[in-house]
Amino acid sequence: MDQDQNAPLREDVRLLGEELGAVLREQAGEQLFDTVETIRQVAVESRSHGEMQGGRLRELLDPLDDPTLLEVARAFSQFLNLANLAEQRHRERLRRHHQRFPGDPDTDRGLRQVLAELKKANVSQDKVREVLQDLSVELVLTAHPTEVTRRTLIRKYDQMADLLAELDRPDLNDEEAENLRRHLREQILSAWSTDEIRRERPTPVDEAKWGFATIEQSLWHAVPQGMREIESELKLAGLPDLPSDWVPIRFASWMGGDRDGNPNVTHKVTRQVLTLARWMAADLYLRDVENLLADLSMHRASDELLARTGPSTEPYRLLLRAVRDRLRNTRALMEARVNGSAEPEGDIYSSGSELYEELSLIDRSLREVGLAAIAEGQLKDTLRRLNCFGITLLRLDIRQESTRHADAVDAITRYLDLGSYADWGEKVKQKFLLAELESRRPLVDKAFFDSEFCTPEVREVLETCRVIAEQGPEGLGAYVISMARTSSDVLAVMLLQKIAGVSEPMRVVPLFETLDDLDNAFDTMSALLEIPFYRERVREGQEVMIGYSDSAKDAGFLGAAWAQFRAQESLTGIFREHNIPLTLFHGRGGSISRGGSPTRMSLLSQPPGSVAGRIRVTEQGEMIRFKYGRPSVAAYNLEQYVAATLEATLLPPAEPRPEWRAQMDQLTDVSVRAYREVVQDDPALVSYLRTVTPETELSRLALGSRPARRKPGGGVETLRAIPWVFAWTQMRLMLPAWLGTGAALENGLAHAPDTLRAMSDQWPFFQTVVDMLEMVLAKSDPRVASWYEERLTDDPELQRLGKELRSRLSRTVDALGQLTGRESLLDNNPVMRWSIRVRDPYTDPLHLLQAELMDRLRHREEDPELESALMVTIAGIAAGMRNTG
């Protein structure tokens, strides 16, 4: 893309910076403005001259008192949020550019380009249509706590983005432009006057409401908008029409269902979240129906519709009033259930098919009497929403750790005097579980729930299954078993659902997340597929979840990536042999060490044949806002998923060459050893993490409802993957994303440089590894990391480790440069390089401030003002880094 097309982004950043400066002058006074501006200029000069020693910045920051430190931190944090807003707005511009100039090689590859490539490859239109008709993209919104910006502020930033969009209009006169700038300054003032920090940790229900708000404010509009654009591209390519209500995209959620390590998610919470989702869905459809009532005033109708309404001059309105009343009753019932009040009488919608039947009757009638153009309007959008969101808004997944299920079955076998399930071997467990699954008699009686064996933990597992039974399948998705290791882990969940009386069981999805689990995934699923009962149960399809977070924490980025690739490859093969459709569920995060990467890049880097028209992906934390927070950007990202899934299915990458596989085995052996010799074997690592990074301070930030650790105390193994990544990102060492990879690249370049370069040039999997590694290395900064060390420790062992880590980072950058042949990181991506550089003068002071505040707080009992300042630096640096966790 022409570099001049980034000029509007630079102009927006300049404009927002000027307006923030004006607000600072007005609200905090000239002295604070001058202090902030001086610090910024010194940071710019330090970066431009390559000094980066931090000495001059520290001289400016050290004398500041606590209240001033807080205000300085707020100023720099606010600018970084405004820079993100400008980039979000610029993505909307780029999307419009993509629509106008779809052949531009520098915009994301959209559906038009994919359809053209398919035509060039002689893929028949019938084949393309067949794949599209069955295409399934399910995006799973999770509550993983990497979104640090308050919803209150997000709304203000959205309003600012709307004002920037208005300022782009070419027909503005001077007066209108000045008025828009005045409104922009008002919004910046409002944001400046708002507390940046969540003071109370959100509950799981709060998190679910946040997910509902994303649907209400953005995705509800983005889905029909995106589908119309997809439909236009298909028509342009001359493809046969798909059904008018075709929607290949669905949404699910973990918010209120993910109980793995989160004691705050209980069966009562899950029930409440499911009910709230039904309430929100009824409310949103009610708004649609009110609009349809206003528009569908025509009298011509089909005999089929008139047979339902009787003679009428406004038959559509007659039917829609009945639909409206039923939706109101549904909403009132859900509201009563949430509030625990008396349930009202009245006919409700208990399934999506009931609402669909009535709306599709109107659709058929309009088309039959020559009013198809009206049917193609709002009604079509509503039908598509219904096919996407159902009447439950989202399908809620349940996630629980495998040992909790084993404990529940163990309590039952001990109650029945059958012995301890926990002590049995795998074959004995499997035989027992299968016998009970095929038995018609109940396994436990009511007395079990009053017995000593039914502990609160066991009761909670069984009560969760009871909620599944009472809710029915429409609002539920997958039952995900974390730390799944054996076939009995899967069968146990199937049995627990049977015990609870679930008539239509949730599909049971094993999650393979550590290196060993990924390596053993083939054996686990093979053992299940050898069981005729199980094969029959999954004949229509099996879902398997691939974990990115814990595998990377266990083995490092490169070792995990190759294990994930091999696991997917082997699973794809065995399910193909059994002729059972396989859906791979990718548990990705925003950072590269947790699987984050652009949509097309991530899908085309999967093993050939593994996508097969079906994909399920988690969308987490701040990535939900960046990708789906605004309708036009969300619509674009939905099209990207459809295009990339189609491309990965019909134009999959070639099989990796044998020498590439051998080289990857060698690379990962070196990488895993190098990673583990630091993370697992160096006794100073845990102390360094807790002393030099803000790992312990992160627990003060009310990010999410889930505890930062699976268990109190303990070492790295007890720390969740998100705070593990978040802590290293805050001080710019980014260790989880590259540790071990540099040693592997050095080894490859020394022994097989030609093979390594061929992999980098020709293999999408390895290309993605290299590109994402380059991005994260560009965001890392060993000199910033050294500031933390200088301020926070004088322990020789920690200083020794810090020096070694920075040396390893430097060698990784050098090795990557040798592989790519580029002199500087991101030479091939000037937009991203500019994005990082424009933030550095604002993140540098925040890093120094953070280290200073950590030191001050560690030497004081309690200081609310300093704690607030520290939280602001954490939020500000997170905004500067973008993909924090």
* Whole-number Å distance between alpha carbons of 379 and 382: 5
- Nearest C-alpha neighbor of 647 from the set 101, 227, 116: 116
The token pair at 840 is 């550095």
Under the phi-then-psi rule, with left for phi > 0, alpha for psi from -120 to 50, and beta for the rest, what region is 645?
alpha
Is residue 512 helix, strand or coil? Answer: strand
CB atoms within 10 A of CB 856: 15
Residue from 863, 554, 598, 494 nearest 718 by CA: 554
- For 741-790, strand residue ranges (E) read none
Closest Cα to residue 361, out of 300, 316, 324?
316
Query: Would strands 507-512 and 395-401 be described as parallel, antiparallel, or unpaired?
Result: unpaired
Choosing from 144, 221, 380, 405, the catalytic residue is 144
Considering the candidates 221, 553, 627, 847, report the single residue annotated as catalytic. 553
553 is catalytic: yes
Determine the 3-state secondary structure of 608 from DSSP. coil
Of 172, 191, 163, the residue nearest 74 (C-alpha):
191
DSSP secondary structure string, 302-324?
Answer: -HHHHHHH-S-SSHHHHHHHHHH
CA–CA separation, 282 and 287 (whole Å): 9
Q: How far apart are CA 488 and CA 641, in angstroms?
A: 34
Q: Residue 619 gets which letter from DSSP?
A: E
Q: Which residues fall within 8 angstroms of residue 394, CB to CB, at 6 or more apart?
A: 141, 211, 212, 215, 251, 252, 253, 277, 475
**DSSP sequence for 535-601:** HHHTTT-EEEEEESHHHHHHH-HHHHHHHHHHHHHHHHHHHHHTT--EEEEEE--SSGGGT---HHH
| H/E element, 702 | none
Structure tokens at 701: 């930030």
DSSP E strands in 100-233: the ranges are: 136-142
Instruction: Find the length of the chain.
Output: 885
Is residue 453 within 8 A of residue 406, CB to CB? The reply is no
315 forms beta bridges with none
Which pair of structure tokens corresponds to residue 658? Answer: 């044998």
Question: Any idea which residues carry the catalytic annotation?
Answer: 144, 553
